[in-house]
Amino acid sequence: MKISSGDSQSLSTVFNRNRHQIDSSFSARLMWLPLLLLAELILAQPCPAATIGRWTLTGSLVDGRWGHTGTRLPDGRVLVAGGVDSSGQATGSAELYDLATGTWTLTGSLNIPRFLHTATLLATGKVLVVGGVNSGGALASAELYDPATGVWSNTGSLNTGRSFHTATLLANGKVLVAGGSTNTSDLASAELYDPATGFWSSTGNLTVARSGHTATLLPDGMVLAAGGYSSPTVLASAELYNPATGTWATTGNLSQPRAEHTATLLLSGKVLVAGSSLHSAELYDEASGTWTLTGDVGKTILRNTATLLANGRVLVTGGHRIGNGWTGGTVYDPARGTWVSTGRLGAVQESFATANLLPNGTVLLAGGQDAHSNALAAAELYRSGR
């Protein structure tokens, strides 16, 4: 086909106009290219792990300490007593935390300095501190704290001095102390404290001597003792105490041996065990007498704390993370059987801290030791946020 000069001019005009449109479109795409590449880079980055809740610093303890006890009193204040102070010695000092002011104040001191003892809130509102250890060895002494006066008074002594034991308030108001260590051997003996008389009486022995174990009051009034040390072994065994008969009977073994762990009674009646240099956690079902693994804590922890939250979840924190300090915590959701990390702590709590649920639903984490075994005075509040 022959193209006339007029047609040639027309085609040239169309070509030039289309080339201008193509050039303009290409320039526009070049202009957006850096933004598109940046978007691709952002999308290619791994998403940060989901977290739940947050930590905020609150007033520091008057005296830094670890290996102490923390007890929430009926009026909502928290009593911290004993432990090892910044000089590395057992202390008898005690202090009270007031949520309204976010501050600590000293209260009456224990009559005998001690650490690795137990503290139990009695039905009377007084606090019973039992055993522990100091430079003189394992202690048999026990003391009562009266929040109304801020004074400690001696009460009946244990038949056998011990530390690293457990103390459980029974449904009848008595306190069951079981196992522990004399510093030279682990104990199978158990004793009952009667607040009405202030005296101790022997009850049935554990089936296995153990220290660094847990003891949990079950909904039916039985007490579950699990794990611990029976030198030189870390135990997987568990047993049940029957207050009606004063005897212990074996129940199903833990899936993995563990000691210096935590045990928490869930709203379902099952018991959650976590910690002891393991990633794993387990659930105990009393109906079947068996343990099942549940979720991965995500951290290898030891000497941690565990607190049942108002929403039925469990906050685990304040322990030693094997390899380095722990800068946060993790929350267990019983409905899903999963764990989610919390926000970061303001201070690294290595181990031997205390954690208490406060009336407003926050959790108070206090004291503990750092990676160099220094006593910490830091205290923080955890808010779940949902």
Structure confidence by residue, pLDDT tens digits, 191-201: 999 999 999 99
Q: Which residues in 304-325 are b (16+ Cβ under 10 Å) and which e?
A: bbbbbbeeebbbbbbbbbeeee
Per-residue pLDDT tens for 99-149?
A: 999 999 999 999 999 999 999 999 999 999 999 999 999 999 999 999 999
Peptide bond into 232 cis (omega under 30): yes
Buried (b) or exposed (e) across 55-78, using 16+ Cβ within 10 A? beebbbbbbbbbbbbbbbbeeebb
Banded pLDDT at 345 (limits 50, 70, 90):
confident
Q: Taking the CA atoms of 30, 34, 35 and 40 in sequence, report the sign of the dihedral they define.
A: positive
Say which residue, 299 or 177, is predicted with more confidence: 177
Instruction: Summarize the confidence of residues 309-322 as an average pLDDT.
Output: 82
Instruction: Give the span between the Cα atoms of 45 and 177, in whole angstroms.
Output: 53
Q: For residue 289, what are the β-bridge partners? A: none
Q: How many Å apart are CA 125 and CA 128, to the nearest integer?
A: 10
**Is residue 295 scored above 60 in pLDDT?**
yes
> Residue 251 forms beta bridges with which residues?
238
- pLDDT for the residue 386: 59
Q: Which residues contact 28 (CB under 8 A, 6 or more apart)?
A: none
- Residues 92, 82 contacting (CB under 8 angstroms): yes
Tell me the pLDDT tens digit for each residue of 25-59: 334 333 443 443 333 433 333 334 567 888 999 99
Report pTM.
0.85
Per-residue pLDDT at 10 exceeds 70: no
pLDDT attached to residue 22: 30
Amino acid at 51: T
Model pLDDT for residues 250-273, shown as the tens digit of each residue: 999 999 999 999 999 999 999 999
Residue 185 has pLDDT above 90, yes or no: yes
Q: Where are the domains of the chain?
A: 54-383
Q: How confident is the model at residue 299 (pLDDT cuts 50, 70, 90)?
A: confident
pLDDT of 327 reads 65
Pick the CATH number of 54-383 from 2.120.10.80, 3.90.1150.10, 1.10.3720.10, 3.40.50.970: 2.120.10.80
